[in-house]
Amino acid sequence: MTSRRDFLKVTGATGTGLILGLYLEAKPRPAAAAKAEFHPNAFLAVRPDGTVRITVPKTEMGQGVRTALPLVVAEEMDLDWSKIEVVTAQPGPDFKSMQTGGSTSVSSTWMPLRKAGAAAREMLKAAAAAKWRIGVDQCRTEKGFVLGTGGKKLGYGDLVEAAAKLPVPKEPILKKTSDFHLLGKRTPRFDGPAIVTGKAVFGLDVRRPGQRFAAMLRCPVPGGQPYSWDAWKAMKVVGVAGVVQVPTGLAVIADSTWAAFKGREALAATTTWEEGAAKNFNSAALEAKMRKALTGLADEVRKEGDAEKALAAAARRIEAEYSFPFQAHATVEPMNATAQVGQDSAEIWTGTQSPNKAQERAAAAIGLKPEQVKVNVALLGGGFGRRLGTDFSTEAAQVAHAAGGRGPVQVVWDREEDFRHDLFHPATLHRMRAGLNATGTLSAWCHRIAGPAVLRSWMGGKKLATQASVEANGALDIPYNIPTLKVDFAEVEAPMPLGWWRGIEIVPNVFARECFLDEVAHALRKDPLQLRLDLLGDRGLVKFGVEGADIRRLKKVLEVAADKAGWGHKHDAGHGLGLACHAYDGRTYAAAVAEVSVEKGQLRIHKVTCAVDCGFVVNPSGLEAQVEGGIAFGLSALFTQITWEKGRTVQTGFEHFPLLRMADMPSIEVHVVPSDEAPSGIGEPPVPLAIPAALNAAFAATGKRIRRLPLGSDSFK
């Protein structure tokens, strides 16, 4: 498997540039087919002028891949960071798996990128050595130059022709961590200058010659279809060019976004709907079903001993129900895509986390082959899992296709559509039960999750064998050493499109787990930190769930976070401290301590202290940004929810979805536990800690245990 992933190949040995392609799960392109240095399958290209183009095989949504991944190449290759150019790859034979999610961009490309950079460096050095007729070991590299004995110096650009003729070393020698001069140092975001000057191109900023704009009139109930409408009403609006029907609704095409919106408004007044199967869906009825599913049959995903028997035998039992609502992604840039469709080709411009799927599905929808559809990945104005979906890019291709292929069309979703037609993170209920024995220890733990399954929705209604395990992520990999354990998932179907959300199911599952553990600590009259440390115990690598985890690393981050937050010391009157920890997929270890107070019934989060161990840190500035942002994302979900009435979301805008704002943002302290392990992810691991840390802190401050989200005006009454 690694041989395919790590494949390196030189292409473009034409004398104009050295092109080193990295093929992530892709076959090598025959050398004969290679052309010039700008070959699209090339991963890195050195130009004769010494500039180096690095092609990033993942998409940028704010997590920093267009900085972090080029840094890895630049480090091994000894590049001058000011002379690199960064481009995002396009899906195709050379980039078959650009999917960006699951906090895996750095970990999955780390070794291949290092080898790509190191191989290029070795070849450039060998080329210089041959030219100077000295030994390779008498040469070294520095900031885009090869340096030899006696002051000899050649720029990489001067060596491209000679280097391109050399064989690619299969196992190039990688740098020692102690020799790194770029990795591990703070590097500002590559796209920063473009962002602050307004030049950065997000999906909505794509402007093509002859481009028109489209607004979609969609049924307010997902899955519904227009039944009757009068397109002439829209056509009368100045600037409107036409109305076409596509599977997701009616598209009003115009010469500006505003004209398209106004045309849609006129069209809406004439339209009646067949609202479809979901038209009676509402939150209260779903919750009743979920509550019923808290008892009875379920798919068991973790079993240690006989937890039911231990519960029955326990000296004391505690039980609680936790509730987490539906959530929206609420990226600030609404969904959008621009498409141009010709007879036997199409081109799409969009911010997507799934470029390959976007290509395949758009092609299928308009009767083309994937290779006939070119996908250009723009910057994403937030992703958070929403843009793993391909609904918006497929739709744009369908609109451009239905419009008769006359020039590019940009389909612009507005804020209400973005809320109403999200791929939702579903609600869950959690039945938590614990058995305590007479000696004051925890003897049994049962976690039942009831709710809709994201994976089923994602698979088009199909239930995969892994479904329950996926939905129980964060619950089934509970890291604590408890004599008996049972974790199960009871599916309750919902007719709404569901999708992955930053932190996925780990967020509600860890919320229930870490808050209920606090309840156990309280019941046992133990310090919540001490109870966790005791339950983690003196264990090393432990196998559970899919991945298992290194308990020592988890314990360490917990201790560091508690220490830095002043756990056990005095803090301001009325303030409480709460903590939470988790081993994300057994790869990234994170702990958080929140300091909060409740003033006039309102929760105020003052500070969150985090400790993380995600292996070697590529860019500390990027890592800290991800922790700050991850905590903010989690904290927002204390206050936000999506509810359903008559198949429609009640919330249609930011005014109904109170995301954290400047004044609500706590100060965040990030402590990195140094590690020599290979890097793992950091985008999602902090997210699940925010809610339980804050609510455990609220309990410490007020004695009030919150088990139901979102927080309301009466939560602390």
DSSP state at residue 683:
S
CA-CA distance, 448 to 509, in Å (whole number)?
10
CA-CA distance, 216 to 243, in Å (whole number)?
10
Q: How far is the CB of 47 from other proteins (least distance, A)?
A: 24
DSSP state at residue 149:
G
Could you tell me which of 117, 100, 152, 210 has the C-alpha nearest to residue 684?
Answer: 100
Give the residue with the Cβ less far from other proteins, 413 or 480.
413
Give the residue with the Cβ less far from other proteins, 542 or 631.
631
Q: Which two tokens stand for residue 706?
A: 């919150």
CA-CA distance, 698 to 171, in Å (whole number)?
54
Give the residue with the Cβ less far from other proteins, 188 or 342.
188
Give the residue with the Cβ less far from other proteins, 118 or 330.
330
> How far does Cα 169 stand from its chain's mean position?
34
Give the residue with the Cβ less far from other proteins, 129 or 623.
623
Q: Which two tokens stand for residue 595?
A: 């300091």
Q: How far is the CB of 68 from other proteins (least distance, A)?
A: 13
Q: How far is the CB of 213 from other proteins (least distance, A)?
A: 7
Burial of 544 per CB tally in 10 Å (0-12, 13-18, 19+): middle
Give the residue with the Cβ less far from other proteins, 62 or 479.
62
Q: Strand 140-142 and strand 249-254: pairing?
A: unpaired
Q: How far is the CB of 241 from other proteins (least distance, A)?
A: 14
DSSP secondary structure string, 273-304?
EE--TTTT--HHHHHHHHHHTTSS--EEEEEE
CA-CA distance, 655 to 641, in Å (whole number)?
12
* Cβ count near 522 (within 10 Å): 17
Q: How far is the CB of 206 from other proteins (least distance, A)?
A: 9
CA-CA distance, 547 to 88, in Å (whole number)?
31
Q: How far is the CB of 668 from other proteins (least distance, A)?
A: 6
Could you tell me which of 355, 380, 391, 353 has the C-alpha nearest to residue 370?
Answer: 355
Distances (CA, A) of 190 to 159, 656, 707: 26, 34, 42
Q: How far is the CB of 696 from other proteins (least distance, A)?
A: 21
> How far does Cα 585 stand from its chain's mean position?
14
CA-CA distance, 254 to 238, in Å (whole number)?
9
Summarize as ranges the residues that interact with other proteins (CB under 8 A). Answer: 60-64, 186, 188-189, 191-193, 195-202, 204-205, 207, 213, 238, 256-258, 261, 330-334, 379-384, 412, 414-415, 621, 625, 628-633, 653-655, 659-663, 665, 667-668
Q: How far is the CB of 328 from other proteins (least distance, A)?
A: 11
Residues linked to residue 430 through DSSP beta bridges, in sequence order: 322, 449
Q: How far is the CB of 660 from other proteins (least distance, A)?
A: 7
Q: How far is the CB of 147 from other proteins (least distance, A)?
A: 31
Give the residue with the Cβ less far from other proteins, 41 or 99.
99
Q: Which two tokens stand for residue 646?
A: 């008559």
Q: What angle do CA 368, 370, 374 make, to 5 degrees?
A: 100
DSSP secondary structure string, 376-432?
EEPBPS--TTGGG--HHHHHHHHHHHHTTS-S-EEEE--HHHHHHT--BBPPEEEEE
Give the residue with the Cβ less far from other proteins, 488 or 628.
628
Q: How far is the CB of 622 from other proteins (least distance, A)?
A: 8
CA-CA distance, 474 to 391, in Å (whole number)?
28
Q: Tell me the three state secondary structure of residue 261.
A: helix
Name residue 237's amino acid: V
Give the residue with the Cβ less far from other proteins, 380 or 482.
380
Q: Which two tokens stand for residue 483?
A: 């004599």
**H or E segment to which residue 314 belongs:** none
Q: How far is the CB of 414 from other proteins (least distance, A)?
A: 6
Q: How far is the CB of 67 from other proteins (least distance, A)?
A: 9
Give the residue with the Cβ less far from other proteins, 326 or 413.
413
Q: How far is the CB of 185 from other proteins (least distance, A)?
A: 12
Give the residue with the Cβ less far from other proteins, 102 or 382.
382
Q: Would you say 515 and 322 are in contact if contact means Cβ atoms under 8 Å apart?
A: yes
Give the residue with the Cβ less far from other proteins, 383 or 578.
383
Give the residue with the Cβ less far from other proteins, 361 or 387.
387
CA-CA distance, 60 to 67, in Å (whole number)?
9
Residue for token pair 């995301």: 659
Largest CA distance in the chain: 83
Give the residue with the Cβ less far from other proteins, 337 or 446.
337
CA-CA distance, 480 to 551, in Å (whole number)?
9
Give the residue with the Cβ less far from other proteins, 295 or 667.
667
Q: How far is the CB of 670 from other proteins (least distance, A)?
A: 10
Distances (CA, A) of 135 to 117, 130, 152, 175, 349: 21, 8, 13, 19, 49
Distances (CA, A) of 512 to 144, 301, 551, 699: 52, 17, 21, 14
Q: Which two tokens stand for residue 101?
A: 């999610």
**H or E segment to which residue 11 belongs:** strand 7-11
Give the residue with the Cβ less far from other proteins, 62 or 91.
62
Q: How far is the CB of 715 from other proteins (least distance, A)?
A: 23
Give the residue with the Cβ less far from other proteins, 148 or 383.
383
Q: How far is the CB of 244 from other proteins (least distance, A)?
A: 20
CA-CA distance, 73 to 648, in Å (whole number)?
48
